[in-house]
Amino acid sequence: MHDIRWIRDNADAFDAALKRRGLEALSSSLIGLDETRRAAILAAEQALARRNAASKEIGEAKKAKDNARADTLMAEVGELKTRLPELEADSKAASEALDRRLAEIPNLPFPAPDVPDGADEHGNVEHHHFGAKPSYGFKPLPHFDLGETLGDMDFETAAKLSGARFVVLKKGLARLERALGQFMLDVHAGEHGYTEVNPPLLVRDEAMFGTAQLPKFEEDQFWVMREGARLGLIPTAEVSLTNLVRESIVDEKELPLRFTALTPCFRAEAGAAGRDTRGMIRQHQFNKVELVSVTTPETSKDEHERMLSCAEEVLRRLGLHYRVMTLCAGDMGFASQKTYDIEVWMPGQGEGGMYREISSCSICGEFQARRMNARYRGSDGKPRFVHTLNGSGTAVGRALIAVMETYQQQDGSIAVPDVLQPYMGGLKTIEKGN
Q: Catalytic residues, which ones?
A: 267, 282, 357, 360, 398
Tally helices (H) and strands (E) across the chain: 12, 18
- Quick check: helix, strand or coil at residue 113? coil
- Residue 54 CA to residue 72 CA, distance in Å, equals 10
Q: Among positive and negative, which fits the CA dihedral 205, 210, 214, 219?
A: negative
The residues near 198 (Cβ < 8 Å, ≥ 6 apart) are 261
Alpha carbon 59 to its chain centroid, in Å, reads: 58
Residue in 146, 176, 137, 125 with CA at minimum distance from that of residue 346: 146
The whole-angstrom separation of Cα 336 and Cα 364 is: 5
According to DSSP, residue 258 is labeled E
Distance CA 89, CA 32 (A): 19
Q: Which sign does the torsion angle of CA 239, 244, 249, 251 carry? A: negative
Rg (the chain; Cα; Å):
28
Beta strands in 209-337 (DSSP E): 222-226, 229-233, 248-251, 257-266, 285-295, 322-326
End-to-end CA distance of the chain: give it in Å, rounded.
51
| Helix or strand holding residue 154 (H, E) | strand 153-154
- Residue 291: name the closest of 307, 304, 315 by CA: 307
141 DSSP assignment: P
Pairing mode of beta strands 354-365, 374-377: unpaired
Dist CA 11 CA 22 (whole Å): 17
Beta-ladder partners of 250: 376
How crowded is residue 255: how many other Cβ atoms within 10 Å of its Cβ? 19
For residue 36, the one-letter residue type is: T
- For residues 396 and 180, the answer to whether their CB atoms sit within 8 Å is yes
Torsion sign, CA atoms 312, 221, 354, 337: negative
